[in-house]
Chains A and B, each alone.
Chain A
Amino acid sequence: MSTQPLIASDVDVATRTGDVWITLVWNDPVNLMSYVTHVFQSYFGWSRDKAERRMQEVHEKGRTVVSSGAREHMEVDVQAMHGFGLWATLQKSGE
């Protein structure tokens, strides 16, 4: 991990409350487990093992958080998931 001090603008972004958003992927009866796993691998760059665990979480718990960060980044992720036909939403973290 880097020991370089954070530059001021990074601190601003990191400490401003309410700035952290999350992307959720929801269960649906249509998407194949294999397909969801592969989409997670190819888009998020996860290993097959990690992608399968997150897919299982969607299947069993109804949803999983796939990413977090600035709202604009979450919008990019949600758009990509919708492009693949997955049901994804974004919201402020903690809501």
Chain B
Amino acid sequence: MRGFQAIADVSEFDAAVAELDAEEKAVIARVVADVGLLLGGEPFAMEDETLDDDEDPLFRHLRGLETALSDPDDPAVLRVLPNAAPDDREVAEEFRRFTEPELRTLKVDRLRTIWRALSDDGPTWIVPADEALNTAAALTDIRLVLASRLGLETDDDAANLHAEIDRAHDAQTGAYAASAAENPERVWLGMLYEALTWLQESLMSYVMRDDV
């Protein structure tokens, strides 16, 4: 995986491009589609596509994610569509009533756009300049959902997750005896979260290259 950079041939069009292999693209496209479903969107699929990946061990963890996300009371939804007035129920409810459908549509449409970009063939993820901020916003929504699933409530939780992944990685390479506490699904989701964080950070460097 290589993070986003401005496309080399600027004469063509202004865009950021990241390099991802087919598996990385498939994993990210799948989690994009799952978050779209969570937010109430129609399933993302090409017209002639059949979702036949039941035997793929890679997707077993994601299927768990999808199931957990289908619950309308899922706290992940509250991270993406938070309470606008925690101390004033009337204001909060009115805000949700008037803004939530529009916000869900905005977020689902944005996710669908990047899902399509990830479904293109080839080892790249191309983001046109005028889609870059929308893509970063969609990555934020995905990371909010994963963070909810991972129980990241504070800055310390995020730092601890990183340490946890490092320990799991050391265990794999034999430098550390794995403790029973390290849950492979959690480590896997944590690595996905960190990869998306890294991709978003590289995309922001592109977006902010001329900010003054």
Contact = CB atoms under 8 A, between A and B. Distances in A.
A30 B211 contact: no
B152 A83 contact: no
Given A34-B208, A38-B207, A89 B200 contact: no
B207 A84 contact: no
B137 to A, nearest CB: 5
Contacts of A30: 79, 140, 143-144, 147, 152, 158
Nearest to B155: A29
A83 to B, nearest CB: 6
A34 B95 contact: no
B85 interface: yes
Q: Dominant SS at the B interface?
A: helix
B68 interface: no
Contacts of A90: 84-85, 91, 95
Interface in A32-54: 32, 34-35, 37-38, 41-42, 47-48
Interface string B86-118: 111001000100110011001100000000000
B82 interface: yes
Contacts of B153: 29
A83 B137 contact: yes
Contacts, number: 90
Interface in A1-37: 27-32, 34-35, 37
B103 A85 contact: no
Closest 6 CB pairs of A and B: A85-B140, A34-B204, A29-B158, A79-B99, A30-B147, A29-B155
22 contacts: A28-B79, A28-B144, A29-B153, A29-B155, A29-B157, A30-B158, A32-B140, A34-B204, A34-B205, A35-B136, A38-B133, A38-B207, A75-B84, A78-B95, A79-B95, A82-B82, A85-B140, A85-B141, A87-B82, A88-B82, A88-B84, A90-B84
Given A30-B144, A32-B197, A79-B102, 12 more contacts: A29-B158, A31-B140, A32-B140, A32-B200, A34-B201, A38-B133, A48-B208, A48-B212, A82-B99, A88-B82, A89-B83, A91-B85
